[in-house]
Amino acid sequence: MMCIVSIRRRGPHSRNENPYSSVGIARPGAEERPCQSDRNPANSFFPKSPAPSRRRPEPRPSNRSAIMRRFVHAATLIAVVFSIALTGCGKNDSATSQRTTPESQLTPEQLKNGIGPISSVTLDEYDEELADKGESIFTSKCSACHKFGERYVGPDLAGVLSRRSPEFVMNMMLNPAEMVEKHPEVKALLATYLTPMPSQNLTETDARAILEYFREKS
Amino acid sequence: MSNRNSILHIGVAAALLVAVASWTGCTGADVSTSGDAASRVYVAPGDYDEFYAFMSGGFSGQVTVYGLPSGRLFKTIPVFSQFPENGYGYSEETRAMLTTSYGFAPWDDAHHPELSQTNGVPDGRWLFINANNTPRVARIDLTTFEADEILEIPHSAGNHASPFITQDSRYIVSSTRFSIPIPNRDVSIADYKKEFKGTLSFVRADVPGEMEVAFQLLVPGYDYDVAHGGKGPSHGWMFFSSYNTEQANSLLEINASQNDKDFIAAVNWKRAEECVAAGRATNTQARYFHNHVGADRVAVTTIKNSVPVIKPSDCDGMIYYLPTPKSPHGVDVDPTGEYIVAGGKLATVIPVHSFTKMMAAIENEAYETVVDGIPVLKYEEVIAGEVMDAGLGPLHTEFDANGNAYTTAFISSEIVKWKLGTWEVVDRIPVYYSVGHLMVPGGDSQKPWGKYLVAMNKITKDRYLPTGPELAHSAQLIDITGEKMKLLLDFPTMGEPHYAQAIPSEILMQNSVQIFPIEENTNPYATKSEGATRVERQGNTVRVYMTTIRSHFAPDNIEGIRVGDEVYFHVTNLEQDWDVPHGFAILGMENAELLVMPGETRTLKWLPKKEGVYPFYCTDFCSALHQEMQGYVRVSPAGARTPLAYGTGSLKPAS
């Protein structure tokens, strides 16, 4: 038994030619080669329950720094690619791309308060109700990685408010991606803990409530 | 994520390198298209395509999502077939989607995607698609890109002319390609002409979660093939093509090709509604399933037991037949709603009926004959014109906004462009090879966006690198902005795209869901914090309430499972960040993995058969420590006294 393999390119069919007609027929130029071988509903499973809405995206672009980063990387790559192109058509296997990270130029304010939407927080009298709300959000969205009194996936949060400003703490919750990328102290934390803190899609109100819970714990 | 980034960077670099290399003239690729074709389809890295295109998967049973003009594949949306890649049809939350009155159907053949419309324009709310083999229609929610509703069609077989839509999304339709005894029962096939009937069904489609068969027309036992809704002046009518008016039940390729003309059935569904409201339909017993994903994102089945059936003889003015040459296949209504274009598989001309003439013929009772209470209008009284020299084997037609029609010619492998009204062929372009459907964005609506045409070809042959006997079906992107059509791009497709729809990106992209808020998760087995994770035993049933977050499972050590247990892993993904699903798979499982979207709960059933220790792990690369995201289940022999215990870090006994 023979298999017919053709890798020759064919021109367009003429209008009256049915391509079916060529099925299995070797065309001129086809190479002949031997073949390799002759060869229940889960209805009752779930009780009924009511309805969530679904979260829609913020309009893009959502993160200026991500765009800047992309821009910088793209610019670097374009430069590298052009330099390869300029060396002519020959192979240039040794070409490597060098990623450059822009020097962080944070203001003293950003160093203290972090990078993000929160520029100032006024701490009034401790609000127990708010702290309770914060605890429940923390339990759902943060406790898988943070504990008080021990290191877990992320740093021990005991005494966090004596180490960080309230603004820093809230910006870390609200803007973790940029904090991890740019803030020198958070970069250092990443080097220790290796897992970058993910965004948990908190609102400023959520973050403020969690801050109140941290006040309770400190 | 860093690996994803570096892959992205490499990709970007490669693409730029190619782009620069081609500017500098280094490549020798011979492009048989016009010189600027590459730039017309080039979507720079990080940029977006102009259109979303939804292609049916044909025998894959799914829908694929492409970008146009790049031809890039973005996603497979599982609909009518199990999809082990994400657990659709395997997980306890999704298995009900594939249940039917015939049992669990793990596969089907999906043909015609149809976007929902408002005022005759695709609106981006939903995409509907039909299952051809076990007759069903499905709704895909275009905020999540997930199938969330499937309705079985009773009294049907070969649901091909489906789910074409009315301009207000009130109805999608369904029909019998294969006529059958109705109700289906044990009769001799030789009694076809006496016992076999067709049905044309109208399914209410405008309320999510509540699709229902509003009524079915009981019609002569022909093969009903494709449909399209009237629009503008013809809104209120639906047109179905038919073949096999000979009513052959064997060797149809000869026996169903005898008659000079078959019929297009023109159904006045507003009239049908009146008759149903007047009590002229019969509620007929029929068992069929409605599967729907509730607000808790769990699919449930409701069993239906009856359907209203109406006979043409009980509702005058509800249906007419338009004689149409030679086994018509496609039936397409132009954007003005005036012209009804038929594609006769064996015809050499394209007949175009006029809605105005049809209404006059009905008014004048210009009947050739009456079949089973259905008046057959005289051909010459309804025909507006015939397109001559339109290629061999014309099948389907779509339209642009400038009065042009584009018809596929299967046998001669070409697209023929012609003018509505003058019926004059103005251009033609070869396609490779044997084109079936074609799609122009909005090209079956009242306001085509035009610009591109996608030819969906049945035969690929030598267009791509050979991949053994089976080849990907080929789609071809054609520029229709100028007088002459221009071929821009070939791209491979998944399964067999029978039809497609496209919609401008800006209509959909802002609505796309990124996460499911964890606080709104109402799955009865959700675990909303790591502190709530636990393992519970009730007899032989063990439920593991598990959470995932980068980069660990809780619990990740479980002991006390015994051979013979029925174990449910209820996995809740606590992430609230876009594009961070976690996966779950365990050694030796016999179903599929789970992919769990942020904020969602998915359940995998596992039946351990042998004692031992079974690792499980996250299957979707989630973070730098993804490889660390793993755990163990200890399985003891049946009857063993190993205490049930679980934990992350340290084991604690189950309560």
For the stretch B191-248, pLDDT in tens is 999 999 999 999 999 999 999 999 999 999 999 999 999 999 999 999 999 999 999 9
How much is the pLDDT for B650? Answer: 84
Instruction: Report whether pLDDT(B154) > 50.
Output: yes
> Which amino acid is residue B103, in one-letter code?
G
> Which amino acid is residue B583, in one-letter code?
G
Q: Is B575 in contact with A55 (Cβ distance < 8 A)?
A: no
pTM: 0.84
Instruction: Report whether pLDDT(B28) > 90.
Output: no
* Spatial separation of the C-alpha atoms in residues B442 and B502, rounded to whole Å: 7
Is the bond into A57 cis (omega within 30 degrees of 0)?
Answer: no
Interchain CB contact of B490 with A (< 8 Å): no
CA of A87 vs chain B CAs: smallest distance (Å):
11
How much is the pLDDT for A7? Answer: 38
* Spatial separation of the C-alpha atoms in residues B626 and B243, rounded to whole Å: 57
Residue closest to B214 by CA, chosen among B175, B184, B160, B171: B171
Q: Are B158 and B130 in contact (CB under 8 A)?
A: no
How much is the pLDDT for B437? Answer: 97
- Confidence at A68, pLDDT banded by 50, 70, 90: very low
Q: Is B499 helix (H, G, I), strand (E, B) or coil?
A: coil
Q: Are B281 and B307 in contact (CB under 8 A)?
A: no
How much is the pLDDT for A45? Answer: 52
Using alpha carbons only, give the angle A164, A170, A174 rounded to the nearest 5 degrees: 135
Residue B368 backbone dihedrals phi, psi, to 5 degrees: -80, -45
* Spatial separation of the C-alpha atoms in residues B547 and B530, rounded to whole Å: 6
Chain-centre distance for alpha carbon B451: 23
Q: Is A55 in contact with B294 (Cβ distance < 8 A)?
A: no
CA distances in angstroms from B538 to A8, B644, B651, B652, listed in the order given: 65, 11, 20, 18
Cα-based torsion angle of the residue sequence B215, B221, B222, B227 in order, rounded to the nearest 10 degrees: 0
* Spatial separation of the C-alpha atoms in residues B244 and B439, rounded to whole Å: 27
What percentage of chain B carries pLDDT values higher than 70?
95
Q: Are B203 and B214 in contact (CB under 8 A)?
A: yes
Whether the ipTM is more than 0.85: the answer is no
Q: Are B581 and B597 in contact (CB under 8 A)?
A: yes
List, in sequence order, every residue forming a beta bridge with B491; answer none if it has no partner: B475
Candidate from A5, A56, A97 with C-beta closest to B466: A5
Chain-centre distance for alpha carbon B511: 20
Q: Which residue of chain B is at minimal alpha-carbon distance from A76?
A: B13
The two tokens of residue B629 are 């995201």
> Greater confidence, B463 or A6?
B463
> Greater confidence, B590 or B347?
B590
List, in sequence order, every residue forming a beta bridge with A100; answer none if it has no partner: none
Instruction: Tell me which residues of chain B, numbers 582 to 611, contact chain A at a CB-CB cutoff of 8 Å.
Output: 599
How much is the pLDDT for A169? Answer: 97
Helices (H), chain A: 64-86, 108-113, 128-141, 160-163, 166-174, 176-182, 184-193, 204-217
- Confidence at A39, pLDDT banded by 50, 70, 90: very low
Measured from the Cβ of residue B10, the count of other Cβ atoms closer than 10 Å reads 12
Residue closest to B598 by CA, chosen among B613, B576, B614, B617: B576
Burial label, B327 (beta-carbon count in 10 A; 0-12, 13-18, 19+): buried
Residue found by looking up tokens 């069903």 in the block: B136
Instruction: Report whether pLDDT(B127) > 70.
Output: yes
How much is the pLDDT for B9? Answer: 55
List, in sequence order, every residue forming a beta bridge with B289; answer none if it has no partner: B303
- Residue B444 is classified by DSSP as T
Instruction: Report whether pLDDT(A22) > 80.
Output: no
Give the gyration radius of chain A's Cα atoms: 30
Instruction: Report whether pLDDT(A38) > 70.
Output: no
Residue found by looking up tokens 């801050």 in the block: A211
- Strand arrangement, sheet containing B73-77: B73-77, B63-68, B51-56, B500-504
* Spatial separation of the C-alpha atoms in residues B224 and B227, rounded to whole Å: 8
> Which amino acid is residue B251, in one-letter code?
L
Burial label, B651 (beta-carbon count in 10 A; 0-12, 13-18, 19+): middle
**Residues with Cβ < 8 Å from B622, sequence gap 6 or more?**
B550, B551, B580, B581, B582, B629
Chain-centre distance for alpha carbon B366: 39
Q: Are A39 and B468 in contact (CB under 8 A)?
A: no
* Spatial separation of the C-alpha atoms in residues B291 and B304, rounded to whole Å: 11
- Confidence at A2, pLDDT banded by 50, 70, 90: very low
Q: Is B20 in contact with A89 (Cβ distance < 8 A)?
A: no
* Spatial separation of the C-alpha atoms in residues B124 and B118, rounded to whole Å: 9
Instruction: Report whether pLDDT(A67) > 50.
Output: no
Instruction: Report whether pLDDT(A127) > 90.
Output: yes
- Confidence at B477, pLDDT banded by 50, 70, 90: very high
How much is the pLDDT for A20? Answer: 37
Residue B316 backbone dihedrals phi, psi, to 5 degrees: -65, 145
Least confident interval from A79-88, B471-480, B516-525: A79-88
Candidate from A97, A144, A199 with C-beta closest to B549: A144
Residue A176 backbone dihedrals phi, psi, to 5 degrees: -60, -35
Instruction: Report whether pLDDT(A42) > 60.
Output: no
Q: Is A48 in contact with B17 (Cβ distance < 8 A)?
A: no
- Residue B339 is classified by DSSP as E
Question: Strand B328-333 relative to strand B339-344: parallel, antiparallel, unpaired?
Answer: antiparallel
Which residues in chain A have their CB less than 8 angstroms from residue B392's CB?
Answer: 15-16
CA distances in angstroms from B402 to B414, B447, B450, B483, listed in the order given: 21, 10, 9, 11
* Spatial separation of the C-alpha atoms in residues B309 and B284, rounded to whole Å: 6
Cα-based torsion angle of the residue sequence A106, A112, A115, A118 in order, rounded to the nearest 10 degrees: -140
Burial label, B543 (beta-carbon count in 10 A; 0-12, 13-18, 19+): middle
Q: Is A195 in contact with B510 (Cβ distance < 8 A)?
A: no
**A79-88: long-range contacts, CB 8 A cutoff, minimum separation 24:** A80/B13, A81/B13, A81/B16, A81/B17, A81/B20, A82/B20, A84/B17, A84/B20, A85/B17, A85/B20, A85/B21, A85/B23, A85/B24
Instruction: Report whether pLDDT(A203) > 50.
Output: yes
A·B CB contacts under 8 A = 197
Instruction: Report whether pLDDT(B571) > 90.
Output: yes
Q: Is A46 in contact with B93 (Cβ distance < 8 A)?
A: yes
CA atoms within 13 A on the CB side of B473: 24
**Residues with Cβ < 8 Å from B311, sequence gap 6 or more?**
B217, B218, B373
* Spatial separation of the C-alpha atoms in residues A216 and A209, rounded to whole Å: 11
Give residue-wise pLDDT tens across range B269-313. 999 999 999 999 999 999 999 999 999 999 999 999 999 999 999
Q: Is B46 in contact with A59 (Cβ distance < 8 A)?
A: no
Q: Is A185 helix (H, G, I), strand (E, B) or coil?
A: helix
Q: Is B530 in contact with A54 (Cβ distance < 8 A)?
A: no
Instruction: Report whether pLDDT(B531) > 60.
Output: yes
* Averaged pLDDT for residues B366-385: 97
Instruction: Tell me which residues of chain B, numbers 428 to 457, contact chain A at a CB-CB cutoff of 8 Å.
Output: 430, 432-434
* Averaged pLDDT for residues B27-53: 79
Instruction: Report whether pLDDT(B88) > 90.
Output: yes
Q: Which residue of chain A is at minimal alpha-carbon distance from B523?
A: A49
H/E run at residue B501: strand B500-504
Mutation target vs A (from B3, B10, B12; most A CBs, 10 A cutoff): B12
Q: Is B407 helix (H, G, I), strand (E, B) or coil?
A: strand
Instruction: Report whether pLDDT(B613) > 90.
Output: yes
* Averaged pLDDT for residues B331-358: 94
Q: Is A48 in contact with B577 (Cβ distance < 8 A)?
A: no
* Averaged pLDDT for residues A25-37: 37
**Residues with Cβ < 8 Å from B441, sequence gap 6 or more?**
B51, B53, B68, B448, B449, B450, B451, B452, B502, B503, B504
CA distances in angstroms from A121 to A80, A109, A209, B42, B510, listed in the order given: 45, 13, 12, 48, 33
Residue closest to B291 by CA, chosen among B113, B131, B178: B131
- Confidence at B623, pLDDT banded by 50, 70, 90: confident
Q: Is A49 in contact with B411 (Cβ distance < 8 A)?
A: no
Which residues in chain A have their CB less than 8 angstroms from residue B99's CB?
Answer: 40-41
Instruction: Report whether pLDDT(B13) > 60.
Output: no
Give the gyration radius of chain B's Cα atoms: 27
pLDDT, chain B, mean:
94
* Averaged pLDDT for residues B406-432: 97
* Averaged pLDDT for residues A148-156: 93
- Confidence at A25, pLDDT banded by 50, 70, 90: very low
* Spatial separation of the C-alpha atoms in residues B273 and B214, rounded to whole Å: 9
